[in-house]
Structures are given as structure tokens and as C-alpha cells.
């Protein structure tokens, strides 16, 4: 846990600010200054062209390419999908008298970039000192619209400081972009041209034949004479702007990107729909677009802000997290999911993992329940792929993929894709958790129950009976702890599968009684048999959950307690990350764990374990955990808060909100740790706020970190927006809107309404 911050950016409550240009940090900043609107995302790269090191990333959710893999074993995937780097729709080239602006070569000063969390815009400004002594101030502002998914906006302003003259501009759309991992461009041009004021191009991916339409129209402070430039995979317009000393001039590029990612179109359809969207967007004033964006974000902050007094760094950090979570996903598109790096980089290939249900879903459930439902809808939509995958691995029902962009398994390491069985349990947990906290039975009956049946089928066919133990469980698996590669009876998987069976049975029983029509539909659609219900009950009842009766410590898997011991503190710091410095096979033969596994289910089904059990397991596993996953520390922090270890809780929290801002893992250059960002939110709300959402009613056990004066967070619960404000002496709970609701605070049931309820800060809850 020897993580060290790389402090660089300016601390500000509502913005991320970089002053000065550091080429060494450029890729890291490109990740941090990413913009996105769930539909598309764009890294904070220099749109005017940059000949230094840069990852010019432009991504569209769900838009993917296929890579074939040489493999001849059955059950191991033969091809995978990955998020493809797409059109550079910000393409701009700026020259004065033939000298071109390029931060790697040009002389510049007063460079500032700023991501404004309230307006949802990214702005760069600089003064360009030309070779002939001219100084030109340039300001770039961009946004991707949160209200119109397909709309991107770029505004470039010029102010000549010591001259009057002209600037030459090429504004374009460039599909010749290289996918970095593959080292090639995956696009071929289908069509390009102009219609009215719109300049457009459409291209197609090589293997998946996904089409993407991209277009722009220009607005400007002065009339523009456009000259079309076209070459392979590129279309643009050249124009010249006349500048007067001390006066500002600008042009705005309104971009419409329209892809196949939600539904397949013929190229012809896509082209004409794209042009229609472009035509209507061209009617908008850029000022109105900026205003709409600010209004959207205002509403978000009204609902979802976390306020921390006395800790400006974490204040900035948590707002950055919330901002990025909304940028990555807010549920407008049920066909999308959340890649491990969102739409900010190519590492992890844009794939969604079990992180979605285990780490991200609570944020959406309690801020934007519609988005939470959309995430579950994605799993419903991809149920056919999961059922195909189950067949592929000789099982029945639905085997959800460990990594996916379109519902098909896309992890090319068989040891992960064939052994990590816990995605299905994460989804059934997600359904349970979502329905419990939102009361959305409609979803449960129309989609959830069907998924539960197919998930249970998978777990009923993948499992086996131990010959000596006579118990049911899973052999040849990898649990969440990826440092135990292929084991039998991983306690997490066994317990989660047991819960999954039980919830399925409960759901079906309740539906049969209370909603017989819905039940009949599910039963018919899935061909459900009575014997299956008996079978699942039997397997759940006889699931092997190994626990040491004396210590109360769960055994992570069969034989874990005999695994050779290593004192993790004896490992030299230089050997981290172990994945890079240890022989691959060596990682897997110690009692060392990568991330919470037993502790993870103690977090998820928190109410079912005594404090003693939590303490015993925390002490045992925390001392063996090296946190070689960015998802790990927050779970430890939450449990540490609960069992009365506030200092450890804070220590695990320390880099949660600023993991990327301070580049703790030194790999932010590859993209943001988007799903970890969700864990940072949980760390505050479930950790310090002590919220628990796995019981009959939502409950809180707030604590206040020693270094903070006060903090507040908000959660949406059964239609009521609750604000929980914690200061050094008290906790105030208020229903901001939606009426009143019953919750539990420090073990006592209370009704919270608009007038608010104040309680003393819980005993022992003030950290030393």
C-alpha cells in the first residue's frame, strides 16, 4: 500500500486546473481532462495537432472491432471485441504565415487548462509567440453535450496581442486515427461530402462493419470562405480569419457524430439520419448549448454533490469522481455499459467487468435509479449472448462474461474468462440490491426473474458435489482474488451462488403467489421445471461454505489455510506491481491475496455477519492483501470504519478520490480508473457515512474523519432525496424532496422529512 501522490494539478473546489504545459505529463492530463456523455468520449488531447507523445483517443460506447485469436480448445473464445478508437472530430490546424501551432514545437506562454465541473466544459488557453515576434492568444473550449448525445462542440477564439493579420485554419474530421494496441487504423472511408452547411464523412470498421457518421457545421464571429479539403478518411474545410489587434474573434464547430452502436443501420440510413441531425443542430446557437450544459450539471450537483469542509483536496477529488461517473454513464442508452476506463483510454479495451454491478451500481441506484435500471437492462439485452456462452462452456442457462462490450465474452485469458464465475452472481446481487432499494418490481417481473432463472441454471450445471465432503460447490474457479488462480470451492463464489439460488427461489415463489401471470410468462419463456426448483434448493442448502469454527475465519477456498505464508511487508517495494516483476506462476502460491474476496461478500451481505466475524476476517485477510487492484482499498476502508478502526479506514481512503488526479498508480496516462472512482463514492457514503443498503431499510452509522470539519452527501431512496450532513457533534438528515421516508440511524428507526432530524454524532463514531 505504499502509494505516493504525484501532486501537480491546482486544487479548486469546482475545477481541475493545470497551469503550464508539461510534455511528460501530457498523456496523464489527456486522461484527466477527458470529456464524455456516455455516448461518446474524448481525451483531453490537443485538437490543433501535437507532434509529441499523445494518445489521441475518441471513443464511442459500444462501437467495437473484432480481433481473432488463435486458439483451438473448445470453450475458450476465438475472437474478442474491443472499443475502437474513432474519428478525431476536433481536428483543427492553425497557422499564421505558414507557421503552424504545435505545442511540441511552438513557443508558448500562459498555458492553462481547466475542466469546469459546473459547466461541463474543458478550456485551454495559451499565448503563442510566433517566430516573427507576433503574439496570438488562443482559447479552445469544448464540450460533449449531456442533453444531446450526438452533439459535440468546439470553440476556438483568437486575440492577436501585438499585431493585426490573418490566421489560416483547417477544421476537419479525421478517420485515419490509429488504434494504439493494434498499431493500425481500423477504419475505411465509405462516403464523404457536403450538404448545405454540413460537411460530413462516414466510415466503417474493418471486421465488425460498424458505421460511424461524423459531420460539422461552422459558426463564426465573421463570415467564412470555406474551401473543401478531402483525402482518404478525411474531410475538412480550409478558411482564413482576419484578426485585429486586441480584438477577439472566434469560430465554433458544431459536430454531430452518429454511430451504429445502439442499433444497426444501413449505411444509407445512417448517412441521411446523420445529416438530418446535423441540419437541426446547426440551428442552435453555441451560447445556448453552453447554457444547456451548465443547467444539466447544476441539476446533477443539486442531487449528487458531496460536500467536504476542511479537506479541499478530497472535496475536489470526490467531485471529479462524481463528474466522471456521470460523464461515463447516466443511463440514457440501455445498450451501453461502463468500461473499466470509461471512455478515456484503450487499456482494458473498453470492456465492462463485474465492477459494474459490484462497484458502480450503488452510485447509480442512489443518485439516478433510471441509470441503475439501464445497467441491468444491458444485462437483460445481452442474455442471449450469455446463454450462448453457457453452451460454449458445456453448461446450461446464462454464463455472463467476465469482460464484454457487446455481451459476448471478450477476455482472451482463459484462466479469467473460463474460471471467474462470479459475474452472474454479481448480476443477481445487482438485481436484488436494485429491487430492494427502489422497489422496482416491474423490472423484476418483466426482466429480472428471467435472468435469475438462467443465472441459477448456470450455477446448477457448473457446480459439482465434493466426493468426500458431500457438499455442493465450484471446482476449478478463480474468485475475485486473482492471486488464487484455479481453486476449488472459492468461498465467495459458493456463497454468492447460494444467495443467487435463494433469491431466485424467493422471487419465483413470491411471483407465483402475487403475480401469477408474470410468473407464468417467465416459466413458459424459460421452460422452467419444478425439479429445477428442488434442485436449486438442494444445492443452496448443501453449498460448501468453509469456515474455521474456532476463529470464525472463512477459508477463501479449499486448502487456503495451508497455502505457504508470505509476510507481504517483506516484499521489497521495487517488486511492485508483482504482475510485472514476479514470474507469473509465482503469484499464485502464497496466502497472499490481491483484493478482497471473503471481505467482499462480508461487505455485500453486510447485515448477515456479526461484528466479531467481520473483525476476525478483516484481521486475517487484510494482513494478507496487497491491493493490486484499484478496487481494493475502498472495501477495506468501509469495513475498517464499521469495526472501529477509523485510522485504518482513513488510510485506505487516502487515495480513493484522487487516484487519478494525483496519479497514484502512475498509469493514469492509460485512462481513468473509472470503476474505482465509483468505489471512492462508496468509500464516503458506505464508509464514513456508514450507509447499509442490504437490510430491510436503508441504514446509516455516520462517522466523521478526524481531518474533516463537516461533510454531507445525498442519496435517493424510494423516490425521496435524502441529505445526510455530518459535523463534529451531530448528524442531520433531511428529505430534500420527495416527501418523507423511514430509515435507520445508529440502529434506531426514524422518519426523515423536509424539516430534517438532528441526532448527536454516534458514540465512538468521532474518530480519534
Residue 350: CB minimum distance to a copy of itself, A: 19
**432 among the known binding-site residues?**
no
Contact 44, 343 (CB under 8 A): no
Nearer to a copy of itself, 335 or 466 (CB): 466
- Residue 564 touches a copy of itself, criterion: CB under 8 A: yes
**681 among the known binding-site residues?**
no
Residue 353: CB minimum distance to a copy of itself, A: 19
Distances (CA, A) of 541 to 337, 381, 464, 534: 34, 31, 14, 10
Q: How many residues bind a copy of itself (CB under 8 A)?
A: 41
Contact 65, 82 (CB under 8 A): yes
- Binding range to a copy of itself, per CB under 8 A, among 38-46, 415-423, 449-457, 708-716: 415-423
Residue 590: CB minimum distance to a copy of itself, A: 8
Distance CA 240, CA 96 (A): 10
18, 482, 502, 556: which is the annotated catalytic residue?
482
- Binding range to a copy of itself, per CB under 8 A, among 48-56, 287-295, 315-323, 559-567: 559-567
Distance CA 701, CA 690 (A): 4
Contact 45, 337 (CB under 8 A): no
Q: What is the DSSP string of 395-460?
A: --S----SSBSSSS-----HHHHTT--HHHHHHHHHHHHHHHHH--HHHIIIIIHHHHHHHHHHHH
Residue 77: CB minimum distance to a copy of itself, A: 11
Nearer to a copy of itself, 246 or 577 (CB): 577
- Letters for 588-607 (x = contact with a copy of itself by CB under 8 A, - = none) are xxxx----------------
Q: Which of 375, 455, 563, 752 binds a copy of itself (CB under 8 A)?
A: 563
Residue 323: CB minimum distance to a copy of itself, A: 32
Eight-state DSSP code of residue 641: H
Nearer to a copy of itself, 418 or 456 (CB): 418
- Binding range to a copy of itself, per CB under 8 A, among 134-142, 192-200, 411-419, 670-678: 411-419
**471 among the known binding-site residues?**
no
Q: Which of 111, 163, 296, 475 binds a copy of itself (CB under 8 A)?
A: 475
Distance CA 711, CA 725 (A): 6
Distance CA 400, CA 388 (A): 10
Which cell is 52 given? Answer: 509529441
Contact 646, 305 (CB under 8 A): no
- Residue 761 touches a copy of itself, criterion: CB under 8 A: no
Q: What is the DSSP string of 476-542?
A: SB--S-TTS-SBSS-HHHHHHHHHHHHHHHHHHHHHHHH-HHHHHHHHHHHT--HHHHHHHHHHHHT
Q: Which of 225, 283, 570, 583 binds a copy of itself (CB under 8 A)?
A: 583
Residue 393: CB minimum distance to a copy of itself, A: 4
Nearer to a copy of itself, 124 or 462 (CB): 462
Residue that the C-alpha cell 419465483 belongs to? 508
Q: Is 531 a catalytic residue?
A: no
Contact 304, 246 (CB under 8 A): no
Contact 482, 595 (CB under 8 A): yes
- Binding range to a copy of itself, per CB under 8 A, among 217-225, 309-317, 494-502, 576-584: 576-584
User: Pairing between strand 699-700 and 741-745?
Assistant: parallel
Selection from 92, 34, 348 nearest residue 218 by Cα:
92
Q: At what angle do helices 312-328 and 674-682 cross, to 10 degrees?
A: 130
- Binding range to a copy of itself, per CB under 8 A, among 57-65, 163-171, 574-582, 595-603: 574-582
- Residue 574 touches a copy of itself, criterion: CB under 8 A: no
Residue 541: CB minimum distance to a copy of itself, A: 18
- Residue 414 touches a copy of itself, criterion: CB under 8 A: yes
Torsion of CA 504, 507, 701, 300, to 10 degrees: 100
Distance CA 258, CA 270 (A): 7
Nearer to a copy of itself, 17 or 547 (CB): 547
Show contacts with a copy of itself in window 299-358 (CB under 8 A).
Answer: none
Q: Which of 225, 467, 574, 748 binds a copy of itself (CB under 8 A)?
A: 467
Q: Which of 418, 500, 630, 683 binds a copy of itself (CB under 8 A)?
A: 418
Torsion of CA 496, 501, 505, 508, to 10 degrees: 90
For 525, phi then psi, to 5°, come to -60, -35
Distances (CA, A) of 708 to 259, 380, 767: 46, 42, 10
Which cell is 365 given? Answer: 441506484
Q: Which of 228, 565, 728, 737 binds a copy of itself (CB under 8 A)?
A: 565
Show contacts with a copy of itself in window 72-111 (CB under 8 A).
Answer: 73-76
Give Cα 371 distance to the centre of its chain: 12
Q: Hey, is 357 helix, strand or coil?
A: helix
- Binding range to a copy of itself, per CB under 8 A, among 327-335, 587-595, 711-719, 744-752: 587-595
For 520, phi then psi, to 5°, come to -60, -40
Residue 563: CB minimum distance to a copy of itself, A: 6
Show contacts with a copy of itself in window 437-466 (CB under 8 A).
Answer: 464-466
Nearer to a copy of itself, 286 or 591 (CB): 591
Q: Which of 24, 549, 585, 763 binds a copy of itself (CB under 8 A)?
A: 585
- Residue 584 touches a copy of itself, criterion: CB under 8 A: yes
Q: Which of 296, 561, 605, 746 binds a copy of itself (CB under 8 A)?
A: 561
Contact 602, 609 (CB under 8 A): yes
Which cell is 748 given? Answer: 434506531
**594 among the known binding-site residues?**
yes
Q: Which of 78, 586, 707, 728 binds a copy of itself (CB under 8 A)?
A: 586
Q: Which of 524, 530, 549, 562 binds a copy of itself (CB under 8 A)?
A: 562
- Letters for 375-404 (x = contact with a copy of itself by CB under 8 A, - = none) are -----------------xxx----------
Q: Which of 2, 133, 263, 468 binds a copy of itself (CB under 8 A)?
A: 468
Selection from 233, 184, 215, 172 nearest residue 346 by Cα:
184
Distances (CA, A) of 756 to 100, 302, 623, 696: 60, 17, 41, 22
Residue 166: CB minimum distance to a copy of itself, A: 50
**Residue 739 region by backbone torsions, left for phi larger than 0, else alpha for psi between -120 and 50, else beta:** left
Q: Which of 383, 419, 543, 680 binds a copy of itself (CB under 8 A)?
A: 419
Show contacts with a copy of itself in window 519-558 (CB under 8 A).
Answer: 558
- Binding range to a copy of itself, per CB under 8 A, among 67-75, 259-267, 426-434, 713-721: 67-75
Going by C-beta distance under 8 Å and a sequence separation of 6 or more, which residues neighbour residue 301? 118
Residue 487: CB minimum distance to a copy of itself, A: 8
Cite the active site residues: 482
Q: Where do contacts with a copy of itself occur on this chain (CB under 8 A)?
A: 73-76, 392-394, 414-415, 418-419, 464-469, 475-476, 485-486, 488, 558-559, 561-565, 579-586, 588-591
- Which residues define the annotated binding site for substrate? 354-355, 594-595
Amino acid at each position: 500500500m505504499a502509494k505516493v501522490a504525484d501532486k501537480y494539478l491546482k486544487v479548486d473546489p469546482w475545477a481541475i486546473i493545470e497551469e503550464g504545459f508539461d510534455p511528460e505529463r501530457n498523456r496523464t492530463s489527456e486522461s484527466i481532462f477527458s470529456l464524455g456523455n456516455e455516448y461518446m468520449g474524448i481525451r483531453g488531447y490537443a485538437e490543433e495537432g501535437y507532434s509529441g507523445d499523445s494518445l489521441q483517443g475518441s471513443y464511442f460506447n459500444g462501437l467495437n472491432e473484432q480481433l481473432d485469436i488463435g486458439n483451438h480448445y473448445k470453450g475458450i473464445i476465438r475472437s474478442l471485441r474491443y472499443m475502437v478508437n474513432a474519428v478525431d472530430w476536433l481536428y483543427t490546424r492553425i497557422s499564421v504565415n505558414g507557421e503552424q501551432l504545435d505545442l511540441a514545437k511552438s513557443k508558448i506562454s500562459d498555458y492553462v487548462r481547466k475542466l469546469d465541473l459546473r459547466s461541463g466544459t474543458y478550456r485551454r488557453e495559451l499565448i503563442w509567440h510566433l517566430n516573427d515576434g507576433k503574439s496570438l492568444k488562443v482559447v479552445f473550449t469544448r464540450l460533449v453535450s449531456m442533453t444531446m448525445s450526438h452533439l459535440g462542440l468546439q470553440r476556438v477564439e483568437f486575440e492577436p496581442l501585438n499585431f493585426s493579420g490573418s490566421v489560416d485554419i483547417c477544421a476537419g474530421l479525421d478517420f485515419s486515427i490509429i488504434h494504439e494496441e493494434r498499431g493500425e487504423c481500423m477504419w475505411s472511408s465509405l462516403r464523404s461530402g457536403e450538404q448545405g452547411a454540413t460537411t460530413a464523412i462516414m466510415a466503417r470498421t474493418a471486421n465488425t462493419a460498424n458505421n460511424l457518421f461524423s459531420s460539422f457545421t461552422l459558426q463564426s464571429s465573421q463570415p467564412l470562405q470555406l474551401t473543401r479539403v478531402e483525402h482518404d478518411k478525411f474531410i475538412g474545410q480550409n478558411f482564413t480569419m482576419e484578426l485585429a489587434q486586441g480584438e477577439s474573434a472566434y469560430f465554433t464547430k458544431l459536430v454531430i457524430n452518429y454511430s451504429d452502436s445502439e442499433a444497426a443501420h444501413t449505411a444509407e440510413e445512417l448517412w441521411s439520419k446523420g445529416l438530418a441531425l446535423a441540419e437541426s443542430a446547426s440551428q442552435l446557437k453555441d451560447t445556448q448549448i453552453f447554457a444547456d450544459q451548465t443547467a444539466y450539471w447544476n441539476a446533477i450537483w443539486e442531487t449528487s454533490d458531496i460536500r467536504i469542509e476542511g479537506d479541499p483536496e478530497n472535496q475536489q477529488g470526490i467531485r471529479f469522481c462524481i463528474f466522471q461517473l456521470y460523464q461515463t454513464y447516466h443511463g440514457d442508452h440501455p445498450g451501453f455499459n461502463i468500461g473499466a476506463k470509461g471512455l478515456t483510454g484503450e487499456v482494458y479495451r473498453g470492456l465492462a467487468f463485474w465492477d459494474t454491478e459490484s462497484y458502480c451500481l450503488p452510485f447509480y441506484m442512489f443518485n439516478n435509479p433510471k441509470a441503475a435500471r439501464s445497467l441491468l437492462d444491458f444485462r437483460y439485452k445481452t442474455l442471449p449472448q450469455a446463454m450462448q456462452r453457457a453452451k460454449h462452456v458445456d453448461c446450461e442457462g446464462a454464463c455472463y462474461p467476465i469482460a464484454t462490450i457487446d455481451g459476448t465474452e471478450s477476455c482472451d485469458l482463459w484462466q479469467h474468462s473460463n474460471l471467474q464465475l462470479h459475474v452472474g452472481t454479481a448480476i443477481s446481487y445487482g438485481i436484488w440490491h436494485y429491487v430492494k432499494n427502489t422497489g422496482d418490481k416491474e423490472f423484476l417481473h418483466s426482466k429480472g426473474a428471467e435472468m435469475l432463472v438462467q443465472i441459477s441454471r448456470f450455477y446448477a450445471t457448473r457446480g459439482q458435489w465434493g466426493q468426500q465432503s458431500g457438499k455442493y460447490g465450484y471446482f476449478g474457479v478463480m474468485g475475485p482474488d486473482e492471486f488464487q488462480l484455479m481453486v476449488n470451492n472459492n468461498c465467495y463464489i459458493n456463497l454468492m451462488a447460494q444467495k443467487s439460488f435463494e433469491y431466485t427461489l424467493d422471487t419465483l415463489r413470491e411471483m407465483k403467489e402475487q403475480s401469477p401471470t408474470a410468473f407464468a410468462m417467465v416459466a413458459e419463456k424459460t421452460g422452467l421445471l419444478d425439479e429445477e426448483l428442488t434442485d436449486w434448493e438442494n444445492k443452496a442448502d448443501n453449498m460448501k461454505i468453509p469456515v474455521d469454527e474456532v476463529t470464525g475465519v472463512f477459508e477463501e477456498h479449499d486448502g487456503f489455510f495451508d497455502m505457504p505464508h508470505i509476510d507481504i511487508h517483506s516484499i521489497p517495494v521495487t517488486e511492485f506491481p508483482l504482475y510485472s516483476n514476479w514470474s507469473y506462476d509465482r503469484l499464485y502460491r502464497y496466502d497472499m491475496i490481491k483484493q478482497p474476496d471473503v471481505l467482499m461478500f462480508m461487505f455485500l451481505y453486510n447485515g448477515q455477519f456479526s461484528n466479531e466475524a467481520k473483525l476476525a476476517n478483516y484481521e486475517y485477510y487484510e494482513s494478507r492483501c496487497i491491493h493490486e487492484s484499484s478496487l481494493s482499498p475502498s472495501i477495506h476502508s468501509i469495513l475498517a470504519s464499521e469495526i472501529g478502526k477509523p485510522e485504518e479506514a482513513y488510510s485506505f481512503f487516502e487515495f480513493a478520490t484522487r487516484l487519478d488526479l494525483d496519479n497514484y498508480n502512475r498509469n493514469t496516462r492509460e485512462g481513468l480508473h473509472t470503476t474505482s472512482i465509483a468505489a471512492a463514492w462508496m468509500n464516503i457514503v458506505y464508509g464514513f457515512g456508514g450507509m447499509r443498503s442490504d437490510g430491510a431499510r436503508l441504514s446509516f452509522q455516520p462517522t466523521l474523519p478526524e481531518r474533516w470539519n463537516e461533510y454531507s452527501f445525498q442519496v435517493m431512496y424510494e423516490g425521496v432525496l435524502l441529505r445526510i450532513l455530518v459535523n463534529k457533534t451531530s448528524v442531520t438528515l433531511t428529505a430534500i424532496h420527495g416527501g418523507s421516508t423511514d430509515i435507520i440511524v445508529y440502529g434506531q428507526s426514524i422518519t426523515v422529512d423536509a424539516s430534517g432530524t438532528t441526532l448527536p454524532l454516534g458514540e465512538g463514531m468521532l474518530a480519534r
